Structure 1
């Protein structure tokens, strides 16, 4: 059990003293950038899915026609 406690203490020390954290303003702007591109990418996939769905539906309507 002492080994786990020591590991946690050393981990916090590592995070506190040796890790270089991104400035808050940069983290906010990068988060917004990721959110915007995620929305754009999901809308593009939705559009392609809609087009393919309509094409496949049209194809099957022509076959069974």
Structure 2
């Protein structure tokens, strides 16, 4: 049990004194970048899916 308490104390000390936390503006910029990249990726995958769907419909209709 004492090892668990020591672990919690050391973890708390590290989080408070040794971890560098990003500024809120940096987090906003990163979040916007991730959102834009995710939307572009989703659009790209959606276009590929639409292309394959149309290709397969054309193929099966011409059998």
Provide the TM-score with structure 1 as the length reference: 0.85
Aligned Cα RMSD in Å?
A: 1.1
Segments of structure 1 that go 5 or more residues without pairing to the other structure are none
Matches within 5 A, 1:1-65: 1-63=1-63
How many equivalent residue pairs?
Answer: 63
**Tell me, what secondary structure is at the counterpart of 1:22?**
coil
What is the Cα deviation at residue 16 of structure 1?
A: 1.0
Segments of structure 2 that go 5 or more residues without pairing to the other structure are none
